[in-house]
Amino acid sequence: MKPFRYERADDVASAVATVTDDPRAAFLAGGTNLVDLMKMEVATPGVLVDVRHLVSHDIEDLPDGGLRIGAGVSNSMVAADRRIRRLYPMLSQAILAGASYQLRNLATAGGNFLQRTRCVYYRDIATPCNKREPGSGCSARGGHERDLAILGASEACAATHPSDMAVAMAAVDAVVHTQGPAGERTIPVNELLRLPGDEPWRDNVLERGELITAVDLPPLAVAANSRYRKVRDRASYAFALVSVAAAVEVADGLVRDVRLALGGVAHKPWRAFTAEQALLGAPATEENFHAAAEAELAGARPLPGNAFKVPLAANTIVSMLRALTEEAR
Amino acid sequence: MDVEILLRVDGKEHRLTVDTRTTLLDALRERLGNTSPKKGCDHGQCGACTVLMNGQRVTSCLVLAVAGEGAEIVTAEGLAEGDELHPVQRAFIAHDAFQCGYCTPGQVVSAVAMMREAQAGWPSVVTEDLDADVVVLDDREIAERMSGNLCRCAAYANIVPAIAEVARP
């Protein structure tokens, strides 16, 4: 690990100012990803500004029926929250499908969005990687492709976003609150995380020094009938090959509302807008589920080592929709 | 860069000066001589370094000592009351729930925390009814909830019954 200075700021504004003004500075919250990357010298901040005690550790009811999760709430507490278990079960399940209890007790709601890819080349400083070292090239294409993206990748980068929580957050149209050098703003989760394009080192749209302070879950009736399924190489404690967050509401045999998002397939949680559009108002049949999944994956550009993800994602979408609509019947 | 910190470990306070790069695990082992948390992977993947921090199990290898300042830390060593071992420790001995023993302190601390989480009604990813008030720690639940603790000797066949004996008396 490279030497660094550790600071506890007195308030969010001074933490933001420190990180804005010093390009070597970084925020520290749970540290489960950052400290690990520092050990491997993938991340080499010269200053760590500890913000965990500065941001809210509470989950509040919002007047519109939604919930506001403070950025400092641990992943464990989000997953265990009674309201979230009842109103947004796919979010509880997504979090519980990720990492271990030990890590979820440390990791925060805000930090979870900002964890870096687990692409093995990003984490190995001996190999070229455009995300870690802009312009150095991509070692992953033609290398270990199993974990790579099938949707929205670029020549420069085919890494996937590792979060399970963020997939469910994308499905419910969660919105993050931030405080940065230009003041406060809100950003929908679906716009917070980005595709790699020709700037794969930018995982998200946050400015230097901009801190996530809370996440809002909007009221969403369909989310009460939702599930998260994660397909992985071992039964627990592994990253997703493919994951699906799904919510569906059926009335008179027709799909009244639906939310679908995929994990493990792209540089960001992949909200399946095409499939949702195909399903809205359509009969809730196996045939339509297949057609919607195929429409969503029509744009997939798999590599030789991850082509299996295309049928895996389609089949997982279909089986989730089948299970959720059978339960609702 | 050196900083002075206060660590509360197994009921005792320690003031020490550490480099900011020191993890809680290294501070416990190398500076305080408490070698019950073990260094396995040092990347949060194996669970051998599990300790309780303010009552919750965490991987001490990913916590910077300076960030753990003031927190209440309990290691496997602190679970026993004097010579009286914790029920989970006794169950591990009774069931021979280890071979080399390197992962054992982490397993024991993790199991103690796991039972408290279940008592608080925390679900796991294999919990069928997410809304249930009471968690039944069957073998499947125990395996999932202990999946953050790896055993290279694969003593799981005895670890699960040891935990089950305490969890479902």
Q: Any idea where the domains of chain B sit in the sequence?
A: 2-79, 87-167
CA nearest A77 in B: which residue?
Answer: B122
Cβ contacts of B111 on chain A, cutoff 8 Å: none
Q: How far apart are CA B66 and CA B51, in angstroms?
A: 16
* B125·A93 Cβ contact <8 A: yes
Cβ contacts of B117 on chain A, cutoff 8 Å: 76, 101
Cβ contacts of B69 on chain A, cutoff 8 Å: none
**B19, B39, B45, B59: best to mutate for the A interface, most A CBs within 10 A:** B59
Tell me, what's the pLDDT at A328? 61
Torsion sign, CA atoms B115, B121, B125, B126? positive
In this structure, are residues B12 and B3 in contact, taking their beta carbons and an 8 Å threshold?
no
**Which pLDDT band, with edges at 50, 70 and 90, does B82 fall under?**
confident
- The CB density around residue A167, as the number of other CB atoms within 10 Å, is 30
Domain ranges across chain A: 5-49, 222-328
Q: Does domain B2-79 have CATH number 3.40.50.300?
A: no
Read off the pLDDT of residues B1-28 as tens digits, 9 standing for 90 and up: 999 999 999 999 999 999 999 999 999 9
Tell me, what's the pLDDT at A329? 60
What distance in Å separates residue A149's CA from the closest CA in chain B?
24
Tell me, what's the pLDDT at A11? 96
* A85·B110 Cβ contact <8 A: no
B2-79 and B87-167 in the same fold = no
Q: How far apart are CA B112 and CA B114, in angstroms?
A: 5
What distance in Å separates residue B89's CA from the closest CA in chain A?
19
| Per-residue model confidence as pLDDT tens for chain A (329 residues) | 999 999 999 999 999 999 999 999 999 999 999 999 999 999 999 999 999 999 999 999 999 999 999 999 999 999 999 999 999 999 999 999 999 999 999 999 999 999 999 999 999 999 999 999 999 999 999 999 999 999 999 999 999 999 999 999 999 999 999 999 999 999 999 999 999 999 999 999 999 999 999 999 999 999 999 999 999 999 899 999 999 999 999 999 999 999 999 999 999 999 999 999 999 999 999 999 999 999 999 999 999 999 999 999 999 999 999 999 987 66
Considering just the CA atoms, what is the radius of gyration of chain B in Å? 16
* A6·B114 Cβ contact <8 A: no
In this structure, are residues B92 and B98 in contact, taking their beta carbons and an 8 Å threshold?
yes
- The CB density around residue A299, as the number of other CB atoms within 10 Å, is 10
Tell me, what's the pLDDT at B30? 98
Q: Each residue of A23-53: b (16+ CB within 10 Å) or e? A: eebbbbbbbbbbbbbbbeebbebebbbbbbe
* A6·B3 Cβ contact <8 A: yes
- CATH architecture observed for domain A222-328: 2-Layer Sandwich (3.30)
Q: Of B43, B57, B147, which has the smallest distance from its Cβ to A237's Cβ?
A: B147
DSSP single-letter state for residue A52: T
Q: Does domain A5-49 have CATH number 3.30.70?
A: no
**Which pLDDT band, with edges at 50, 70 and 90, does B169 fall under?**
confident
Tell me, what's the pLDDT at B66? 98
Cβ contacts of A85 on chain B, cutoff 8 Å: 123, 130-131
Structure tokens at B113: 């925390």
Structure tokens at B61: 């290898």
DSSP single-letter state for residue A130: T
Structure tokens at A182: 């230009």
Tell me, what's the pLDDT at A232? 96
Output the CATH code of domain B87-167: 1.10.150.120
A5-49 and A222-328 in the same fold = no
